[in-house]
Amino acid sequence: IQFGINVGWVSAQFTTEYGICTNVPVEVFNPTPTPTATSAATHTPTPTPTVTNTSVPQKPDLIIPNIVVEGDPVIPAGETEVTVTIAVTVTNIAFGSSGPFAATMRIGTETYDLASVSGLSQSQSIVLTQEVTFDAVGEYDVRVDIDPDDLVDEVSEVNNRGDITIEVTN
5 lies in a domain? Answer: no
Domain count, the chain: 1
State the pLDDT confidence band at 14, using cuts at 50, 70 and 90: low
Q: Domain range for residue 72?
A: 62-168
4 lies in a domain? Answer: no
Q: 96-150 pLDDT, tens per residue?
A: 999 999 999 999 999 999 999 999 999 999 999 999 999 999 999 999 999 999 9
146 lies in a domain? Answer: yes
Region 18-26: mean pLDDT is 62
Question: What distance in Å separates the CA atoms of residue 146 and residue 149, rounded to the nearest whole number?
Answer: 9
162 lies in a domain? Answer: yes
* 158: CATH: 2.60.40.10
Does residue 18 have a pLDDT over 80?
no
Q: 59-76 pLDDT, tens per residue?
A: 999 999 999 999 999 999
114 lies in a domain? Answer: yes
98 lies in a domain? Answer: yes
Integer CA distances (angstroms), 99 to 64, 96, 152, 155, in order? 17, 9, 7, 14
State the pLDDT confidence band at 57, using cuts at 50, 70 and 90: confident
pLDDT at 126: 98
Between 13 and 88, where is the model more confident?
A: 88
Question: What distance in Å separates the CA atoms of residue 144 and residue 129, rounded to the nearest whole number?
Answer: 11
92 lies in a domain? Answer: yes
